[in-house]
Amino acid sequence: MNDPAARVRIFDTSLRDGEQSPGCSMTAAQKLRFAHALAELGVDALEAGFPASSDADRDAVRAIAREVRGSTVVTLARCHEGDIDACASALEGAAHPRIHVFISTSPLHREHKLGLSREQVLERAIMGVTRARRLVDDVEFSAEDALRTEPEFLAEICSAAIAAGATTLNIPDTVGYTTPSEIRALFEYLRAHVRDAEKAVFSAHCHNDLGLAVANSLAAIEGGARQVECTINGIGERAGNCALEELVMALRVRSHYYGAHTRIDSRRLVPTSRLLSRITGMAVQRNKAVVGQNAFAHESGIHQHGMLKHRGTYEIMRPEDVGWSQSQMVMGRHSGRAALADRLQALGFQLEEASLNRTFAAFKALAEKKREVFDADLEALVLGSDAVA
Ligand code: KIV
Ligand code: ZN
């Protein structure tokens, strides 16, 4: 990276891009509750909604703008006068309001979605940014489907957005189509070709259709992005958006490589993930990085043995640093004698060699029948035998 001590701003869009995806809708009260949690987590900006899309969204944004402090409150608008005015009105009372205007820029979207020429799209973008800038000081411009847009047109429209007053330029991979090397090169190109590029913060907004959203966002940072748009648990349209918890921990764990930091309180990642799950009813997959139930769980004998000697053998971050209380040794068919002895000791049993051997044999027999052997099963095994010393 060019600037070794870079700060990457975290822009959370769980309440907008996330909330608009199937299975994730929330009431205004739930959105407000979650916005407070995001501010406590330390996100720099939270996108509260799209006020022109529904009365419920407008009301939720209003409440968030009035109450939530510590993060910039952002609202989304198409480059339509009505949308932009609705944003400004919903944001009244916000300490740090931002209007985020967007328009599609790719040839496919221009022709089939908007029915507009390049010149007309450019004109609308300038109108949108100019109008938003009359209403608030902080304006973000997004070129929807940027990764399938001609790079020289993208540079032209970004230059025009800066001239009209945009202070953040967001480059969305709307359909999750790009790859790490491609998006990195695009950010480098834009930073070199956009006029007055240093006046704006470049932002990445990656969707996960090919499972590359986090990798692409990290590559965008290497190319010069200093804001990343993401969501808790990676919720979002179709396969979702860049997962905030994964991106933040990748920057933290690999800080010697990226030389970048965020202001996220990582110990709040698991509680925030669980809160979102409870609100939406959408479960987090068990093997999800960082916040999934298996993220710090070890079952195989070899791994458990390694972990008992040094946790660094099989963990690259500490569970406590992301909000789990500790690593979990799951007792099951693959577990070994060392892990069993350790678990029994934690449960208060000191077994002689022979007793431990008998208990281990009984445990293995039980583990063949049960997927997971719980502490109560182990206690019953020990107490039901003559193994207690
Ligand atoms: O994916 C996208 O292009 C978006 C924009 C509206 C920013 O969500
Ligand atoms: Zn999006």
Task: List the structure tokens of 145.
Answer: 């489907």
Tell me, rounded to whole angstroms, the distance of Cα 376 from its chain centroid. 36
Report pLDDT for 388. 52
User: 5 pLDDT exceeds 90?
Assistant: no
Q: Is the CB of 17 under 6 A from ligand 1?
A: yes
Of ligand 1's listed atoms, the one at least distance from the Cα of 207 is: 1
Question: Residue 389's pLDDT band (boundaries 50, 70, 90)?
Answer: very low
Average pLDDT over residues 66-71: 98
Q: What is the pLDDT of the chain when averaged over all its residues? A: 96
Residue 139: enclosing H or E segment and its boundaries? strand 138-144
Amino acid at 383: L
Q: What SS3 state is found at 192?
A: helix
- The proportion of the chain whose per-residue pLDDT surpasses 90, expressed as a percent, equals 96
- Residues near 156 by beta carbon (within 8 Å), at least 6 away in sequence: 122
Task: Give distance in angstroms: CA of 142 to centre of ligand 2.
Answer: 10
Task: Give distance in angstroms: CA of 229 to centre of ligand 2.
Answer: 9
Of the candidates 164, 177, 154, the one whose C-alpha atom is nearest the C-alpha of residue 84 is 164
Of ligand 1's listed atoms, the one at least distance from the Cα of 17 is: 8
Ligand nearest to the CA of 148: 1
User: 10 pLDDT exceeds 80?
Assistant: yes
User: 32 pLDDT exceeds 70?
Assistant: yes
Question: Does residue 196 have a known ligand-binding role?
Answer: no
User: 175 pLDDT exceeds 60?
Assistant: yes
Indicate the pTM of the whole model: 0.95
Of ligand 1's listed atoms, the one at least distance from the Cα of 237 is: 1
Report pLDDT for 384. 81
Tens digit of pLDDT for each residue in 275-327?
999 999 999 999 999 999 999 999 999 999 999 999 999 999 999 999 999 99
Ligand nearest to the CA of 235: 2
Task: Give distance in angstroms: CA of 54 to centre of ligand 1.
Answer: 18
Average pLDDT over residues 365-376: 95
Question: Does residue 205 have a known ligand-binding role?
Answer: yes
Report pLDDT for 254. 97
- The proportion of the chain whose per-residue pLDDT surpasses 70, expressed as a percent, equals 98
Q: Which residues pair with 74 in a beta bridge?
A: 47, 98
- State how far the Cα of 34 lies from the Cα of 29, in Å rounded to an integer: 9
Question: Does residue 36 have a known ligand-binding role?
Answer: no
* Minimum CA distance residue for ligand 1 atom 2: 174
Q: Is the CB of 50 under 6 A from ligand 1?
A: no
Of ligand 1's listed atoms, the one at least distance from the Cα of 146 is: 3
Question: Does residue 170 have a known ligand-binding role?
Answer: no
- State how far the Cα of 64 lies from the Cα of 16, in Å rounded to an integer: 13
User: 3 pLDDT exceeds 80?
Assistant: no
In the chain, which residue ranges form alpha helices assigned H by DSSP?
A: 28-41, 55-67, 81-90, 107-108, 118-135, 151-164, 180-193, 213-222, 244-253, 255-258, 269-280, 301-309, 319-322, 337-346, 353-369, 375-383
Average pLDDT over residues 51-57: 95
Q: Is the CB of 172 under 6 A from ligand 1?
A: yes
Task: Give distance in angstroms: CA of 105 to centre of ligand 1.
Answer: 11
